[in-house]
Chains A and B, each alone.
Chain A
Amino acid sequence: AQTVTQSQPEMSVQEAETVTLSCTYDTSESNYYLFWYKQPPSRQMILVIRQEAYKQQNATENRFSVNFQKAAKSFSLKISDSQLGDTAMYFCAFMKHERSSGSARQLTFGSGTQLTVLP
């Protein structure tokens, strides 16, 4: 079974600064996907960024980038130029690679990090 650990329950950052959220995971799988989801106060779960384990290049999406260290089983999220709208709960999640279209594609979530961007 896979586990995902987010060791920072809460973090804060000043507007326009950079912040890094940590995530580690444990798996015996060699091929998998990692995700960061954002949950603002509106409650909606929003996909921020995804990483495929077989790709060495770190994923980036505008101000969001990841530092993926496969050997260390670490997947941190860096938010540059933080904005007030980035205030949210951030969840790291793991999904095993599934070849069969009929297989379960279960997302396993970490416990979340509440990020507050301060004006």
Chain B
Amino acid sequence: DTAVSQTPKYLVTQMGNDKSIKCEQNLGHDTMYWYKQDSKKFLKIMFSYNNKELIINETVPNRFSPKSPDKAHLNLHINSLELGDSAVYFCASSQGGTGAGGYTFGSGTRLTVV
């Protein structure tokens, strides 16, 4: 029933590990996004995919690699995790057209690197 679902909701891992966060949307949207929310609650875009094609790739360390196997899924893989990667990561989707509908967000994944 959930429109945009992310797994896991919480992730605690050690420095240097590799981890993935999965995102799926059942809204039929053609564009998906990853946003990072830092400890001060500031939200910044990381990546955007439209119909499996990467269209936004902000200045993000190349340890972060998004993968979109189809337009309903956008996963985020992070290599060699660092303490500074601790944050909440949000997946979102939007419908084609002009963008007037805004985004539908997932519930976020709180990543803690220790």
Q: Does A102 contact B (CB under 8 A)?
A: yes
A45 CB–B CB distance under 8 Å: yes
How many pairs, one residue from A and one from B, have CB atoms within 8 Å of each other in the complex? 76
Number of interface residues of B (CB under 8 A): 32
Of the candidate stretches A18-26, A61-69, A74-82, A90-98, the one touching chain B is A90-98
Contacts of A112 in B (CB 8 A): 41-42
Q: In the complex the two chains form, what is the Cα distance from A91 to B110 in whole Å?
A: 19
With A50-B102, A104-B48 known as contacts, the answer to whether A111 contacts B107 (CB < 8 A) is no
The digit string for B29-67, where 1 denotes a CB below 8 A from any CB of A, is: 011010000001111110010110101100000000000
A105, B105: Cβ atoms under 8 Å? Answer: no
Least CB separation from A45: chain B residue: B105
Residues of B100-114 whose CB lies within 8 A of A: 100-105, 107-108, 110
Whether the Cβ atoms of B102 and A44 lie closer than 8 Å is no
In the assembled complex, the Cα of A46 lies from the Cα of B30 at a distance in Å of: 20
Which residues from 28 to 48 on chain A have a C-beta closer than 8 Å to any C-beta of chain B? 33, 35, 39, 42-47
A73, chain B: closest CB distance, angstroms? 19
Q: A35-B102, A91-B43 are in contact. Are A101 and B97 (CB under 8 A)?
A: yes
A43-B107, A97-B98, A111-B41 are known contacts; what are 12 more A-B pairs with Cβ within 8 Å? A42-B107, A43-B88, A43-B110, A44-B108, A89-B41, A101-B96, A102-B55, A103-B55, A104-B48, A104-B55, A108-B45, A111-B42
**Chain A residues near B (Cβ < 8 Å):** 33, 35, 39, 42-47, 50, 52, 89, 91, 93, 95-99, 101-109, 111-112
